[in-house]
């Protein structure tokens, strides 16, 4: 059953996060940290691919920077400066690379503010919360799908009688 397999995978991930919290193993914590760094990089690449097409105008950099600022907050003056810097880049890959570096620096700055242990704790808590929320959303969507299929099947049965 597909749902049981999905449930096993989700609970395995959840158990792993909870075990990290209990044991405090640094290797597992750094794995989670690297995973989060990958998520950030993927999100930056997604923002760039949506808001910085191959042929772009200066106005599109404003939108790109506003979207990026949802991930890494900047004040208005910094956003304008970043827009100018990005307009100097030649390709979307260079733009993505620059924004990823900025996001990494911002993350490291937060890590210094909170401390490494506190940051790893926050990573676990946020990951666990996000995992639980997404799993519940998935279950709700599957229930809606199941109900829709049931109603559709019921409607066809009524029509065929």
Looking up residue 103, the CATH number of its domain turns out to be 1.10.3060
Residue with tokens 């997604």: 46
The 8-class DSSP code of residue 1 comes to -
Q: What's the average pLDDT block by block, 10 residues per block, for the chain (161 residues)? A: 90 86 66 90 93 64 89 90 86 91 95 92 91 94 86 59 51
Give the total number of structural domains in the chain.
1
DSSP output for 24-84: --HHHHHHHHHHHHHHHHHHHHHHHHHH--SS--HHHHHHHHHHHHHHS---HHHHHHHHH
Q: Which domain holds residue 51?
A: 2-160
pLDDT at 53: 60
């Amino acid at each position: 059953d597909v749902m049981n397999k999905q449930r096993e995978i989700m609970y395995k991930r959840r158990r792993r996060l909870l075990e990290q919290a209990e044991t405090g193993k640094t290797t597992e914590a750094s794995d989670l940290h690297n995973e989060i760094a990958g998520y950030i990089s993927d999100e930056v690449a997604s923002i760039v691919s949506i808001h910085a097409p191959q042929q772009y105008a200066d106005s599109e950099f404003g939108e790109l920077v506003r979207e990026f600022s949802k991930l890494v907050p900047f004040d208005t003056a910094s956003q304008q400066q970043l827009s100018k810097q990005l307009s100097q880049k030649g390709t979307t890959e260079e733009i993505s690379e620059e924004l990823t570096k900025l996001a990494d620096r911002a993350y490291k700055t937060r890590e210094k503010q909170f401390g490494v242990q506190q940051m790893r704790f926050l990573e676990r808590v946020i990951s666990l919360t996000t995992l639980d929320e997404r799993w519940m959303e998935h279950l709700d969507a599957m229930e809606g799908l199941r109900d829709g299929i049931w109603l559709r099947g019921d409607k066809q049965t009524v029509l065929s009688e």
